[in-house]
Amino acid sequence: MMFMRKYLLLNIILIWVTLLPISAARAQVHWQFDVPFVPTPYVVIEEMLRLAEVTPRDFVMDLGSGDGRVLITAARTFGARGIGVDLDGDLVAESIEAAKAAGVSDRVQFLQQDLFKTDLDRATVITMYLMPGVMARLQPRLLELKPGTRLVSHDFRLGDWKPDAVTQVRKNAFLWIVPAQIAGRWQLTMALPGGEHRMTLELRQKYQEIDGFGQFSDRPSQIWEPRLRGDRLSFVIVDDRDRDNEAALYFDGQVRGDVIEGELRRGTGRTQTRHAWRAQRVAATKP
């Protein structure tokens, strides 16, 4: 019995030693790029694209596109156009053939190139399944994209940038919406009953999270319910010039660089009135 145990153990060791070079070779191939190819399940892909609200108007860029399944699904199921980039030439060739088979080769393109050397400005949606280190390197570039660009990732986050939405359908899917840069001091004008009024706003920002305060009618004014979604800014200030007739001012506007323009609603219900407003940035601060 002891002899048999030694014989079996010896055979196990010999098999392990024989297979070791093969396993090492496979591991080397698997990790030759910054991001190893691990296919995303189709149900997760569909959830990512649903979360990003992809439509036929979108141009999707898939970074580390693998066998092309994300971009092909975006085109076939959601009607989008786009580009996928990957360093692995074999996977790029496989993606091109898969797009032809799916009948979407006129809507998608696959390129063998470095995602860090890829122009991302065309994208309205960017999809990713990248390692945390790659995500960290990519984050500063993503923040510079056009406000409103949607970023969706399978499993991995963008550092301390909190996602705008998270879902869990088999795997984690994270959504970020690139925020406009609004930190700084703004001079705001609005056409309220009684004439044009001015207000100073001081806005602070960390990614899409914002807060601040205002100066209205020579008095400090609290900013309530501030929200920033892409280039859309909303907040509430209480018009307390007449303490017996106070009313909430609901601001909604679009950010275009150093200018914000939009509409505000004063009051609620039948007494509500609508007015135009505009703000000009007079001093910028880092977010």
**CATH number of the domain within which 271 lies:** 2.40.128.120
In a domain, 267, yes or no: yes
Domain boundary among 112, 147, 177: 177
Q: Which residue has the tokens 């807060």?
A: 211
Whether the pLDDT of residue 10 is over 90: the answer is: no
Q: d(Cα 138, Cα 159) in Å, to the nearest integer?
A: 10
Q: d(Cα 16, Cα 162) in Å, to the nearest integer?
A: 45
Of 194 and 168, more confident? 168
In a domain, 169, yes or no: yes
Residues 109 and 147 occupy one common structural domain: yes
Res 287: pLDDT:
58
Domain boundary among 129, 162, 177: 177
Res 244: pLDDT:
78
Residues 157 and 265 occupy one common structural domain: no
Least confident of 21-30, 83-92, 228-237, 265-274: 21-30
Residues 62 and 157 occupy one common structural domain: yes
Residues 172 and 48 occupy one common structural domain: yes
Domain boundary among 177, 211, 230: 177
- Over residues 187-232, the pLDDT tens digits come to 999 988 778 889 999 999 999 999 999 988 778 889 999 999 999 9
pTM for the whole structure: 0.84
- Over residues 22-78, the pLDDT tens digits come to 333 333 333 345 567 888 999 999 999 999 999 999 999 999 999 999 999 999 999
Residues 192 and 254 occupy one common structural domain: yes
Number of structural domains in the chain? 2
Q: d(Cα 68, Cα 84) in Å, to the nearest integer?
A: 7
Residues 166 and 201 occupy one common structural domain: no
Res 132: pLDDT:
94
Mean pLDDT for all residues in the chain: 88
Of 10 and 92, more confident? 92
Residues 159 and 198 occupy one common structural domain: no
Give mean pLDDT, residues 139-153. 98
Res 1: pLDDT:
44
Give mean pLDDT, residues 80-86. 98
Q: Which domain holds residue 234?
A: 184-284
